[in-house]
Structure 1
């Protein structure tokens, strides 16, 4: 894994965002069992890496992450930024418990917030677009956040089923 070609604003931005996002997650009251928290965070990392590989890889190559098109050390930190944001998304969803149309509005609002953060990342050269436009990301966020909610509801059902199996009668 290569080191950055130069240490500048994008590495500083990633470090600051990394520290702040993980501090926020650690300071929040515990809401989920550790297994669910780990699954949420692993899911976020995998989805982020796969999505970026599909649209920024060598085949399509619509943008670069960090300084080059090659995988470098700070790319890892960028992919580790997704889990706390995903956790916060699920945390707020679980706390507010939106239903019906409010779920759709929640996903749309979070997709807009995701685009705003991505725009900030572009401003600090974390992403360099090569044919990609920020507004393209909106549909990706809608799909990924909807998928994340489906995944969360599914793992919660599994955990609840397992708990019911072990409850003495």
Structure 2
């Protein structure tokens, strides 16, 4: 039998552990970007996750809610911060790879699958609670869009400065 109190807090534990690990990994990597570039990457990821969550969680959609209630709160903010390093790691790894036009699209698709996997873990921990027929794979186009926007930022503001 599962303790309901443990289930109630599994989302917060997931957010704390995942967020801490993501920021530790990000901060331990050799510096490759300026402070401004890093902050913008974090803000892109935080903003876009909040934007899509707050769009899909409200009327008329109500496809899911984040954490324990449909009312935004402290743990929702923490979950957005948790995904901040996602864009940074996405750009960081891409910037050190040997790349061409084919790898650009493959890389985005691979990271979209990674994002779905991360969402699956978060769903199992109770961070996301789907409703009204929403299924996890519906997030795939959103991840493809967010990753493409992030890649546009990379090519527009970082890659051009590296050359």
For 1:124, the equivalent position in structure 2 comes to: 125
CA distance in 2, matches of 1:94, 1:158: 12
CA distance in 2, matches of 1:24, 1:69: 31
Structure 1 contact 98–106 (Cα < 8 Å) conserved: no
TM-score, scaled relative to structure 2:
0.89
Structure 2 contact 46–84 (Cα < 8 Å) conserved: yes
TM-aligned CA deviation for residue 98 of structure 1: 2.1
TM-score, scaled relative to structure 1:
0.86
State the 4+ residue runs in structure 1 displaced beyond 6 angstroms.
none
Larger radius of gyration: 1
2:155 to 153, 156, 161: 153
TM-aligned CA deviation for residue 48 of structure 1: 1.1
List gaps (5 residues or longer) in structure 2: 1-6
List gaps (5 residues or longer) in structure 1: 1-5, 162-169
C-alpha deviations, 1:124-149, integer Å up to 9, x for none?
11000012111111111111101110
How large is the RMSD of aligned CA atoms in angstroms? 1.8
C-alpha deviations, 1:67-123, integer Å up to 9, x for none?
000011111110001211111001011111421111111111100010001001110
The aligned length equals 156
